[in-house]
């Protein structure tokens, strides 16, 4: 005996969800597509009838950008890589201590460090500039590293500490049973397991160093190790005389390395932040 199944009710939710996703994607991608279109146009073609495909495409804006800010891109790379390495070097042992070792005030000290994220960075500008001048760190790569890194340590500590706490402690105990020291268990067992968190924090450190603007703008001069993102700011003028193809080309040139690194480390970011 067969029974007729009840007819399925039509749901508007999947249709609305796909429409909403399409609208968000269009709002995100269309400005990027149009900005890239402007970056490969001659300046005479920027204003006039709006069009997406350039009539006379040219790579001259990108050639001009690389010629003008090539050294600044190198400074950006040095800054970002240095910040990434320093954040890893400070946050990994610190987070392991907070996650595994017992000492008085462990939780209070950790949350006091995390609360540093609530402090306004602007309040540090004047004392930092004075101190950097006195120490000879002004207009140096080392000065940039030391200016950017402290503000990023709390986030890195938080990520690593949570990651280490979720690793079972018996893996280190098992390694120490076979004769290794705690440091050996940490370097040979824990660190390989924490590779997703290390890659995620390394990417975030690179992003912090590459995109940092306030301290690089204040701690460097045009003749010093000034990162490229500051050049993007100084290239803008308050009137309508901006060379928009050049500015758009500079924007995409500066934004490409972090985008490539995000695509390469996206899986590790998801693993580290959802572990």
User: Three-class SS string for 131-182?
Assistant: HHHHHCCCCCHHHHHHHHHHHHHHHHHHHHHHHHHHCCCHHHHHHHHCCCCH
Q: What is the mean pLDDT of residues 241-259?
A: 89
Q: How far apart are the C-alpha atoms of 18 and 1, rounded to whole Å?
A: 40
Three-point CA angle 212, 230, 36, nearest 5°: 95
Given pLDDT bands bounded at 50, 70 and 90, which one contains residue 4?
low
For residue 274, pLDDT beyond 70: no
- Mean pLDDT of all residues in the chain? 86
For residue 199, pLDDT beyond 80: yes
Asked if residues 243 and 56 have their Cβ atoms less than 8 Å apart, the reply is no
Bigger pLDDT: 3 or 30?
30
Question: pLDDT tens, 81-97?
Answer: 999 999 999 999 999 99
Above pLDDT 70, what percent of the chain? Answer: 93
Q: How far apart are the C-alpha atoms of 171 and 14, rounded to whole Å?
A: 45
What's the fold here for domain 60-273?
MetI-like fold (1.10.3720)
Q: Which of 118-132, 166-180, 200-214, 226-240 has the highest mean pLDDT?
A: 200-214
Q: How far apart are the C-alpha atoms of 266 and 132, rounded to whole Å?
A: 36
Q: How far apart are the C-alpha atoms of 192 and 195, rounded to whole Å?
A: 5
Given pLDDT bands bounded at 50, 70 and 90, which one contains residue 1?
very low
Q: What is the mean pLDDT of residues 153-164?
A: 90
Backbone angles phi, psi at 119, to 5 degrees: -75, 140
Given pLDDT bands bounded at 50, 70 and 90, which one contains residue 14?
confident
**Start-to-end CA span in the chain (Å):** 51
Give whole-number Cα distances, 254 to 87, 211, 235, 258, 261, in Å. Answer: 22, 9, 13, 8, 13
């Amino acid at each position: 005996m067969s029974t007729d199944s009840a007819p399925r009710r039509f749901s508007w939710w999947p249709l609305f969800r796909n429409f909403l996703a399409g609208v968000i994607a269009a709002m995100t991608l269309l400005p990027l597509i149009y900005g890239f279109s402007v970056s490969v146009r001659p300046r005479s073609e920027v204003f006039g009838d709006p069009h997406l495909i350039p009539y006379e495409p040219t790579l001259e804006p990108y050639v001009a950008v690389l010629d003008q800010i090539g050294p600044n891109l190198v400074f950006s790379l040095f800054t970002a890589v240095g910040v990434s390495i320093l954040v890893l070097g400070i946050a990994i042992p610190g987070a392991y201590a907070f996650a595994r070792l017992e000492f008085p005030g462990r939780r209070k000290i950790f949350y006091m460090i995390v609360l540093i994220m609530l402090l306004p960075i602007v309040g540090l500008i004047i004392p930092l500039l004075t101190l950097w001048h006195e120490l000879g760190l002004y207009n140096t790569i080392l000065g940039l590293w030391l200016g950017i890194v402290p503000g990023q340590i709390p986030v890195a500590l938080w990520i690593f500490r949570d990651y280490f706490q979720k690793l079972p402690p018996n893996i280190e105990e098992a390694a120490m049973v076979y004769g290794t020291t705690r440091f050996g268990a940490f370097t040979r067992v824990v660190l390989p397991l924490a590779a997703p968190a290390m890659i995620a924090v390394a990417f975030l450190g690179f992003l912090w160093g590459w995109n940092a603007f306030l301290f690089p703008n204040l701690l460097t001069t045009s003749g010093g190790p000034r990162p490229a993102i500051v050049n993007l700011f100084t290239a803008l003028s308050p009137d309508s005389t901006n060379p928009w193809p050049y500015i758009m080309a500079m924007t995409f040139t500066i934004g490409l390395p972090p985008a490539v690194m995000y695509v390469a480390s996206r899986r590790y970011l998801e693993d580290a932040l959802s572990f």
